[in-house]
Amino acid sequence: MKAFVFPGQGAQFVGMGLDLYESTAEAQAMFEQANEILGFSITDIMFEGTPEELKQTKVTQPAIFLHSVILSKVMGEAFQPNMVAGHSLGEFSALVANGTLSFEDGLKLVSQRALAMQKACELKPSTMAAVLALEDEVVEKICSEVDGIVVPANYNCPGQLVISGEVEAINVACEKMKEAGAKRALVLPVGGAFHSPLMEPAREELAAAIDNTIFNEPSCPIYQNVTTTAVTVSKEIKENLIAQLTAPVKWTQSVQNMIKDGATTFVEVGPGKVLQGLVKKIDRNMETMSGSAS
């Protein structure tokens, strides 16, 4: 069985999507439509902008979403998922790919999500840090003992967990993680504390937008970041998507459940190969590949 997975923020690069734009008239039309919906030329930034321009949350998130969704379209017959999942932002790409959301609605939500997250980031100095080679339970315990807001945010693969919170609390937690034997506890170059309680203002804003969006019944199950299990009911998908901004991304557990439910091949649809690497670390027997235009 094939699982199609969609990357999140961090997979962007200058020049992304240009090959897709030039590949088919359908792809070109979707990119042009995106420029109209967003009200600025995201294609200019994607194809020939600077890394700095591309790194702005309001650009990064729609750019990765567009790359993933348009690639899934131009894959044609090769895109036949038995199940889908997306890492954080990638969940929106997955929901368009399995028919739960229309392309236009998905893009609008991603754009609103990015702007709401940007605003939430500006309210309080906050950040994220990667913790390597420490058991999840130890990371969780240290986070719970540090003063201030710091929580586990991304369970990426065994031995790789990202924490999120207030700058001061993150710095203290990182020191404690190293003392506890972490190989590394490294503050990441991100603009804020994604998937933490500090995203509550963004969650409220996005909840209103999601509530006003039509969700169809999906063509195949999505394994969502919040629940990690197969979801096929649009009402549940909506609730999980709203909860996602302040809850941890349980990627390890999602992939484990997909494998338990029969996945043997993971196809990464979008820029980069980050998720293929994580899947291999979760279970090295899995076959992984990149989706490519047919």
Q: Last residue of a domain, which of 143, 162, 187?
A: 187
Query: In the structure encoding, which two tokens stand for residue 261, read together?
Result: 């439910």
Residues 85, 17 share a domain: yes
Query: In the structure encoding, which two tokens stand for residue 121, read together?
Result: 């980031």
Any idea what the CATH number is for the domain that residue 253 is in? 3.40.366.10
Model confidence pLDDT, tens digit, residues 21-60: 999 999 999 999 999 999 999 999 999 999 999 988 889 9
Model confidence pLDDT, tens digit, residues 202-213: 999 999 999 999
Rounded Cα gap, residues 90 and 58, in angstroms: 15
Separation of CA 210 from chain center: 17
Instruction: Please check whether residue 55 lies inside any domain of the structure.
Output: yes
Model confidence pLDDT, tens digit, residues 157-198: 999 999 999 999 999 999 999 999 999 999 998 879 999 999
Rounded Cα gap, residues 126 and 197, in angstroms: 11
Instruction: Please check whether residue 100 lies inside any domain of the structure.
Output: yes
**Report field, pTM of the whole predicted structure over 0.85:** yes
Residues 87, 11 share a domain: yes
Q: Is 268 strand, coil or helix?
A: strand
Rounded Cα gap, residues 32 and 232, in angstroms: 31
Residues 58, 34 share a domain: yes
Q: What percent of the chain has pLDDT over 70?
A: 100
Instruction: Please check whether residue 127 lies inside any domain of the structure.
Output: yes
Q: Rounded mean pLDDT of the chain?
A: 96
Residue 241 identity: L
Helices assigned H by DSSP within 75-123: 90-97, 103-123
Residues 57, 32 share a domain: yes
Q: Would you say 112 and 39 are in contact if contact means Cβ atoms under 8 Å apart? A: no
Instruction: Please check whether residue 41 lies inside any domain of the structure.
Output: yes
Rounded Cα gap, residues 235 and 10, in angstroms: 29
Instruction: Please check whether residue 192 lies inside any domain of the structure.
Output: no
Q: Catalytic site residues?
A: 88, 195
Residues 253, 232 share a domain: yes
Rounded Cα gap, residues 293 and 166, in angstroms: 41
Instruction: Please check whether residue 39 lies inside any domain of the structure.
Output: yes
Residue 6's DSSP bridge partners are 86
Q: Is the dihedral of CA 108, 111, 116, 119 positive or negative?
A: negative
Residues 129, 115 share a domain: no
- Nearest Cα residue to 3 out of 269, 278, 284: 269
- pLDDT at residue 294 above 70? no
Any idea what the CATH number is for the domain that residue 181 is in? 3.30.70.250
Residues 160, 50 share a domain: no
The total domain count for the chain is 2
- Nearest Cα residue to 57 out of 181, 202, 208: 202
Residues 113, 85 share a domain: yes
Residues 241, 219 share a domain: yes
- DSSP string covering 114-169: HHHHHHHHHHS-EEEEEEESS-HHHHHHHHHHSSS-EEEEEEEETTEEEEEEEHHH
Rounded Cα gap, residues 227 and 244, in angstroms: 10
Mean pLDDT on 122-130: 93
Residues 173, 90 share a domain: no
Mean pLDDT on 96-116: 97
Residues 128, 116 share a domain: no
Q: Last residue of a domain, which of 168, 187, 206?
A: 187
- Nearest Cα residue to 129 out of 62, 178, 202: 178
Q: For residue 194, what pLDDT is reported? A: 95
Q: Last residue of a domain, which of 187, 209, 242?
A: 187
Residue 74, domain extent: 2-122+197-290
